[in-house]
Structure 1
Amino acid sequence: MSVTAVVSFDTVGQIATGGGEAVTWSAVLALFFLVPYALLFAETGAAFPQEGGPYVWVKLALGRPAAALTTLFYWVTNPVWLGGSLVFLAAESWDGFVFHLGSGTFADYAFKLLFIWAAILTAIVSLRRGKWITTAGAAVKVLALGLFTLTAVLYGAEHGFAGLADAHFAPTTAGFLALVPILLFAYVGFEGPNAAGEEMHSPQRDVPVALGRSSAVAACCYLLPVLALLAVVPPGKLTGIGGFMEGARLVFGVYGGASTSVLTLTAVMFVFALLTQGSAWMIVSDRMQAMAAADGGFFTRRLGVFHPGLGTPVRTNLLSGAVATAFMLVAMQLADGDAGAVFAVVLTVAVTTLLLSYLVTVPALVVLRLRRPDVTRPYRVPGGRRGFLACAALVYAWILVGSWSALFPGVLDELFGVTYDFQETWGVSRALFETFTLGTVAVLLLVGIVGARGLREKVDRGTG
């Protein structure tokens, strides 16, 4: 589940657009963000394994209102992401390598609707069965990335690694500010399986081990394919939405007459991996949101009901599907149908809402560590309390920079004297970008406040 959720296929190409320093910053964040982040959540997840994960942690530390709003931002990231960047990337790949869909056609809409609701259906079925679908997705994802990386090495051995000569691995301020939000988005999510903590056989034992293994897998699944893309794809040819598959089109030429078949199979694997990636996040985030609703933190407790036979929050799953569908329809009208611009902007919306949720979650972990030292902790961060606090401070600093850069791209660049062309970078105007990102955040804040207040009023009247 962790590998399926955290290794984000849709971000590989986007990260690679940062050039050689994308590898440098990926390695830096793996060491100075991913490691302390994994340590924090390994200790907390093993100590507090209750169903609902981060919702429970924030509630215990900071109260139900803070937990409800944090969970809303965490949850909504996933239907926005599913109905935005994931479905657009899947459709673009299917259209280019499997079967022509066109843009804005009936086939295009049908594919995107089918993709969204297939992911939701996977979340609706019982975890006993659904976990095998996401496990298959994790295996396919690692296989596809491994196949691409190995083939890129073979291609480079035959044609040379021309891209490395102009990759420019030296880190820069501009590269740092551009890459930090997407890299943080790529590396977070290991706490997700704790949303189904009570459905694990032994969360106290399994959570730390799973985090350690999946962290190592995630770091390799980003660093190696990104390095391979940069080595073989000509500079300036990488795009966020087409990066991985366009790179595959180039390097799979080494298979001669079989290249077309291998490329088509890889595209199918790529789309399946994207689908299960969305499913994994739906499984965990819908459980968190359902727990918030059942606990009185979101509109109606009915959204928190788990199906007696399936054991899943079907009503919240269906709500996620509706939000994803609505977001897809809105995104189709964005940027005059420019799929690349839609992909980048919608991905940034998902990055923003997710990172904002961690601005509350990380302090909650610190509060739990300081106020509840008596709770049994099967795993502890090295260095005890000081080690825990040092990790939390480092993680929080990264999240602050990433959140600001995602919400207001270019502002820190200009502060540090770095030239920033917004239209050229994003393909849309700053006004349209900020309307979409800040507008989404404002709507979520309003929904969270109204939802929690409305439910409290129903409870006070005895009707909730």
Structure 2
Amino acid sequence: MSSNLSSTDQRASDTETALRRSLRRFDITAMGIAAVISFDTVGQIATGGGEAATWTAAIALLFLVPYALLFAETGAAFPQEGGPYVWVRLALGRPAAALTTLFYWVTNPVWLGGSLVFLAADTWDRFVFHLGSGTFADYAFKLLFVWAAILTAVVSLRRGKWITTAGAAVKVFALALFTGTAVLYGLRHGFQGLHDAHFAPTTAGFLALVPVLLFAYVGFEAPNAAGEEMHDPQRDVPAALGRSAAVAACCYLLPVLALLAVVPAHQVTGIGGFMEGARLVFGVYGPAAGTLLEVTAVMFVLALLTQGSAWMIVSDRMQAMAAADGGFFSRSLGAFHPRLGTPVRTNLLSGAVATVFMLAAMQLADGDAGAVFSVVLTVAVTTLLLSYLVIVPALVLLRLRRPDVNRPYRVPFGNPGFLVCAALVYAWIVIGSWSALFPGVLEGLFGIGYVFHDVWGVSRLSFEAFTLGTVAVLLTVGALGVRVARRKDTAPPEAGEAVS
């Protein structure tokens, strides 16, 4: 490993033998785009009405920019396999890194088995082929979707990167097609949605949108989980992160504006907002509209699939690194396949978690896809944002404690600039985490009316049981994993197993 990691366990350094350098700047950029641009959150953001566009732009400037600066510097300075796991381990130790990585990793099978698969099934059911709700076809589609995403993460990164690249291209193309068509529709029929849109920001809109917007914008550091599979991470990471962040900001703001311009805000739904908007605007294509809408729906589902696989590729590597480094249960869980160069055991664990979560989520609200979608997305937002409560301070500690480490890219204005960026990012993360875990509480402090069941479709008791229960279970599993790994730490690893 790099000299920047001289303190890393030697047994973990043996993991290099299964890794192959196959990611160049273009691949890193495409992986960032594939992972971060979330079709499922475009409609969710647009439910906030006109001010959703205002807050999308504001948070891009006040959160995404400093966030990108922080992770561009750290990712280039510490390009080891495992990314955020390594950064937290160096700054705060192995137990903290293992727990943080668990929260970061579990977001993705939860999200895949809850939000993504429900949105994909709903889209397929309404625009391609009828599946029904709770039918054999419904279950079969969802299981196939989950395991297709997992299997695309199992193949070697040299081949798998083209799957995520194709997904990124399809995603950008579909969003550009929708945005352009919406403009054409508006020119012909008028921008009816703008009559009801109110772009002035409000406190209520801010509190409702912050968790979803932060979830939409975080994750550009994810390709660093494959840091030792990059050809030149110290040069490519900052450039790739900047490009993918700029593309993502445009791919959120422009479609949200287009959707709100042609669809009245009260008609936008989180689970079907994008495709319902596409159904409306594609009418400008006349007889070809039906076929084009069906093709768009297929692209939509494929983009969701590759988005899930992109996150599996990177987050499973982080979790595998934690295991292989002796921080989570057994080192064998972090084994990379000697030929494929992927953490197959962790990939399969992700598939199992996603499947269990999908089956549980289908029972949460008696098949009400809309309510399940909102609650499941909130769980995913919560676990991911909570991990950044540890990751961001770790970046600051690395900046202050390791000034000797070569940093090919630096945040402007030295330590003061870095600290200001970190403070901004951390403040946003704290607000987003609280709002995700305890929705309605801050609204109450500001005297804003909040009828919980009307917003979420479930009672507060059910909601908190699902979210806080998930957090409690994760903390218990993480603490147990650290304890078991510590007991085994004195035992030598099996040959070829300590890889990640």
Common fold, TM-score beyond 0.5?
A: yes
Identify the residue that residue 442 of structure 1 maps to in structure 2. 472
* Secondary structure of residue in 2 paired with 1:381: coil
Partner of residue 368 from structure 1, selected from 398, 401, 419: 398
Identify the residue that residue 389 of structure 1 maps to in structure 2. 419
Identify the residue that residue 264 of structure 1 maps to in structure 2. 294
Aligned counterparts of 1:458 and 1:131: Cα–Cα separation in 2: 35
> What number of residue pairs does the alignment pair up?
464
Aligned counterparts of 1:315 and 1:438: Cα–Cα separation in 2: 28
Partner of residue 357 from structure 2, selected from 321, 327, 335: 327
* Secondary structure of residue in 2 paired with 1:333: helix
* Counterpart check, 1:35 vs 2:60: no
Q: Which amino acid aligns with 1:72?
A: L
* Secondary structure of residue in 1 paired with 2:365: helix
Q: Counterparts of 1:417-436 in structure 2 under 5 Å?
A: 417-436=447-466
Aligned counterparts of 2:152 and 2:99: Cα–Cα separation in 1: 26
Q: Which amino acid aligns with 1:402?
A: G
Aligned counterparts of 1:373 and 1:413: Cα–Cα separation in 2: 42
Q: Counterparts of 1:86-97 in structure 2 under 5 Å?
A: 86-97=116-127
Q: Which amino acid aligns with 2:57?
A: A
* Counterpart check, 1:412 vs 2:442: yes
Deviations 1:275-326 (A, max 9, x none): 0000000000000000000011111111110000000000000000000000
Partner of residue 357 from structure 1, selected from 387, 403, 412: 387
Aligned counterparts of 1:234 and 1:21: Cα–Cα separation in 2: 13
Deviation >2 Å, runs of 4+: 458-464
Identify the residue that residue 182 of structure 1 maps to in structure 2. 212
Task: Output the TM-score relative to the length of structure 1.
Answer: 0.99
Aligned counterparts of 2:358 and 2:459: Cα–Cα separation in 1: 20
Identify the residue that residue 155 of structure 1 maps to in structure 2. 185
Instruction: List gaps (5 residues or longer) in structure 1.
Output: none
* Counterpart check, 1:228 vs 2:228: no
Deviations 1:6-31 (A, max 9, x none): 11111000000000000000000000
Q: CA deviation at 1:459?
A: 3.2
Q: Which amino acid aligns with 1:313?
A: P
Identify the residue that residue 61 of structure 1 maps to in structure 2. 91
Q: CA deviation at 1:255?
A: 0.6
* Secondary structure of residue in 1 paired with 2:397: helix
Q: Which amino acid aligns with 2:331?
A: R
Identify the residue that residue 84 of structure 1 maps to in structure 2. 114
Q: Which amino acid aligns with 2:357?
A: F
Q: Which amino acid aligns with 1:180?
A: V
Identify the residue that residue 303 of structure 1 maps to in structure 2. 333
Q: CA deviation at 1:71?
A: 0.1
Identify the residue that residue 151 of structure 2 maps to in structure 1. 121
* Counterpart check, 1:196 vs 2:249: no
Identify the residue that residue 10 of structure 1 maps to in structure 2. 40
Q: Counterparts of 1:276-295 in structure 2 under 5 Å?
A: 276-295=306-325
Q: Which amino acid aligns with 1:211?
A: L
Aligned counterparts of 1:322 and 1:391: Cα–Cα separation in 2: 38
Q: CA deviation at 1:398?
A: 0.2
* Counterpart check, 1:108 vs 2:138: yes
* Secondary structure of residue in 2 paired with 1:350: helix
Partner of residue 253 from structure 1, selected from 266, 283, 292: 283
Q: How has the CA–CA distance of structure 1 residues 66 and 149 changed in structure 2, closer, same or farther, with 3 Å as cutoff?
A: same
Partner of residue 368 from structure 2, selected from 302, 324, 338: 338
Aligned counterparts of 2:74 and 2:55: Cα–Cα separation in 1: 27
Q: CA deviation at 1:460?
A: 4.7
Q: CA deviation at 1:457?
A: 1.8
Aligned counterparts of 1:238 and 1:165: Cα–Cα separation in 2: 14
Deviations 1:216-254 (A, max 9, x none): 100000000000110101231110000000100111011
* Counterpart check, 1:73 vs 2:88: no
Identify the residue that residue 242 of structure 2 maps to in structure 1. 212
Instruction: List gaps (5 residues or longer) in structure 2.
Output: 1-30, 495-500
Q: Which amino acid aligns with 1:49?
A: P
Partner of residue 346 from structure 2, selected from 311, 316, 319: 316
Aligned counterparts of 2:406 and 2:490: Cα–Cα separation in 1: 36
Deviations 1:108-167 (A, max 9, x none): 000000000000001000000000000000000000000000000011011100111211
Q: CA deviation at 1:463?
A: 8.8
Q: Which amino acid aligns with 1:32?
A: L
